[in-house]
Amino acid sequence: MKEIKVGIIGAGGIACSVHIPNYQKIENVHVVAVADIKPEVAEKAANRFNISNVFTDWEDLLKIDEIEAVSVCTPNAFHAEPSIAAIEANCHVLCEKPMAVNVAEAQAMTDAAKEHQKILQIGLASRFSPGSLYLKDLIDGGRLGQIYYGRAVAVRRRGIPSWGGFTRKDMSGGGTLFDIGVHSIDHVTWLMGAPKPISVFGSAVTKFGDRHDVINPDWGAWDVDNFDVDDFATGLVRFENGAMLTLETSWASNIENVGGSYILGTDGGVHVVGDTVFEQRNGKLVDTPIELPSGPGGHETEIRRFIDAIRNDLPSPVDPEEVLNVQKIMNAVYQSTETGRSVDLS
Ligand SMILES: NC(=O)c1ccc[n+]([C@@H]2O[C@H](COP(=O)([O-])OP(=O)(O)OC[C@H]3O[C@@H](n4cnc5c(N)ncnc54)[C@H](O)[C@@H]3O)[C@@H](O)[C@H]2O)c1
């Protein structure tokens, strides 16, 4: 099996918990270089995972010709530039979510991948859980009939990230919407068949993150005085095919943790990810159990699919055009917040 050499840009939490260990599980895949602007972070990752080339500047990492695949694991505001540079350096790229901080960057990333015929995969691992892959097949096979509605929910009672740049707009570009909202919006719209969004009305607000009286039991203190992103966002999206999506996401709110994304079709409905199809059969309402398969988690599978796609010359396992539409939805929510009007994406 052909050897694939991988470089890692940004050596923090997600690089060390997901990307590097999962690459290292795959036969003949070798993580050969790591870059982080903080030398101690790069060194620590290199020592822990036995990586021989260590840099503080990702441009130096991209000078290693044998590197064929790059993971971009930097804060959101630093996704586009290294991703595009890596593609231009002839590498396939797995870039963390969200794709970018604005539509122009996301478009430029998509265009670069197309122009250079490289794989650009975004780290939307929710798509790759065994249950999710099963539901995707079930929905694509027509079991739910015509899909006309999706609800994308990721609501935390308290779960404000207290590390990295999540709560600073200059690092993250956005708050809960870009952090956990992106997963649920992408997951639901992908399951709906990735319809094209044509208009968005929404609002993203700060109600907790800038307050010193708010507790954050799991993750502790964050930088309250420099918190300048949303901690709650909601929106309504209309798609070209007439389907609708509502979205709701928070890092903090006065309700229990709420998931419960679901999809409605004319022949059946499902929770995402649920083990039941709600439907009508032979004149009766029935809750049909579905047996979800087991298997590796979404993060492991996303890395395996990325490598598989490189080895077998396949398209990106996460179509960048679909993620570009998710970026358009999220930035339209921010735009709608400013104007109080719906945003036309058609
Ligand atoms: N898919 C998921 O489930 C998931 C989970 C957590 C984080 N993420 C995403 O991963 C990204 C990183 O998050 P994290 O939790 O690992 O943050 P982190 O702060 O732990 O790690 C980011 C690292 O990038 C480094 N960095 C910053 N600018 C850089 C640059 N220009 N060049 C090289 N290195 C640079 C930082 O020094 C830091 O070590 C974010 O985009 C986040 O949204 C995804």
- Residues 219-255 have pLDDT tens digits of 999 999 999 999 999 999 999 999 999 999 999 999 9
Candidate from 18, 96, 179, 251 with most ligand 1 atoms within 8 A of CB, to mutate: 96
Residues β-bridged to residue 96: 123
Contact (Cβ atoms closer than 8 angstroms) between residue 175 and residue 161? no
Q: Is residue 320 part of a domain?
A: no
Q: Are residues 18 and 47 in the same domain?
A: yes
Taking only the tens place, the pLDDT of each residue in 312-338 is: 999 999 999 999 999 999 999 999 999
- Are 79 and 142 found together in one domain? no
How far does residue 122's CA lie from ligand 1's centre (Å)? 13
- Does 278 lie in the same domain as 138? yes
Which of the listed residues 8, 16, 43, 74 should we mutate to test ligand 1's pocket, taking the one with most ligand atoms within 8 A of CB?
A: 74
Q: For position 343, what pLDDT does the model report?
A: 98
Q: pLDDT tens string for the chain (346 positions)?
A: 889 999 999 999 999 999 999 999 999 999 999 999 999 999 999 999 999 999 999 999 999 999 999 999 999 999 999 999 999 999 999 999 999 999 999 999 999 999 999 999 999 999 999 999 999 999 999 999 999 999 999 999 999 999 989 999 999 999 999 999 999 999 999 999 999 999 999 999 999 999 999 999 999 999 999 999 999 999 999 999 999 999 999 999 999 998 889 999 999 999 998 899 999 999 999 999 999 899 999 999 999 999 999 999 999 999 999 999 999 999 999 999 999 999 999 9
Q: What is the CATH number of the domain that holds 97?
A: 3.40.50.720
Residue 283 tokens read as 């004149």
Across the beta sheet with 120-123, the strand order is 53-55, 29-35, 4-9, 67-72, 92-96, 120-123
**Structural domain that includes position 105:** 4-126+298-315
Task: Assess whether 304 and 283 both reside in one domain.
Answer: no
> Does residue 321 lie within any of the structural domains?
no
181 shares a domain with 46: no
Spatial CA neighbour of 77 closest among 98, 59, 56 = 98
Spacing, Cα 273 to ligand 1 middle (Å): 27
- Measured in Å, residue 277 CA sits from the centre of ligand 1 at 37
Dump pLDDT digits (tens) for 42-67: 999 999 999 999 999 999 999 999 99
- 261 found inside a domain: yes
Domain assignment of residue 322, yes or no: no
* 285 and 244 within one domain: yes
Instruction: Determine, yes or no, domain membership for 259.
Output: yes
Q: What is the CA radius of gyration of the chain?
A: 20
- Considering the domain architecture, whether residues 244 and 197 belong to the same structural domain is answered as yes
Q: In terms of domains, do 11 and 151 share one?
A: no
Residues 210 and 333 in one domain: yes
Query: What residues pair up with 158 in beta bridges, in sequence order?
Result: 252
Atom 33, ligand 1: residue with shortest CA distance: 36
Q: Kindly state whether residues 121 and 42 are assigned to the same domain.
A: yes
Contact between 264 and 141 under an 8 Å Cβ cutoff? The reply is: no
Tokens representing 196 are 């094209």
pLDDT of residue 134: 95
Please state whether the predicted TM-score (pTM) of the whole model is above 0.95. yes
Number of domains in the chain: 2
Looking at the fold, whether 141 and 274 belong to one and the same domain comes out as yes
Cα 265 to ligand 1 centroid, rounded to whole Å: 37
- Whether 270 is covered by a domain: the verdict is yes
- CATH number of the domain that residue 246 is part of: 3.30.360.10
Q: Is residue 264 part of a domain?
A: yes
Same domain, 53 and 157: no
Ligand 1 pocket: which residues have CB below 6 Å?
A: 9-15, 35-38, 41, 58, 73-76, 78, 96-97, 123, 125, 163-164, 179
User: Which class for 40: exposed (0-12), middle (13-18), buried (19 or more C-beta within 10 A)?
Assistant: exposed
284 found inside a domain? yes
The amino acid that residue 154 corresponds to is A
* Contact assessment for residue 285 and residue 291, using Cβ atoms and an 8 Å cutoff: no
One-letter amino acid of 225: D
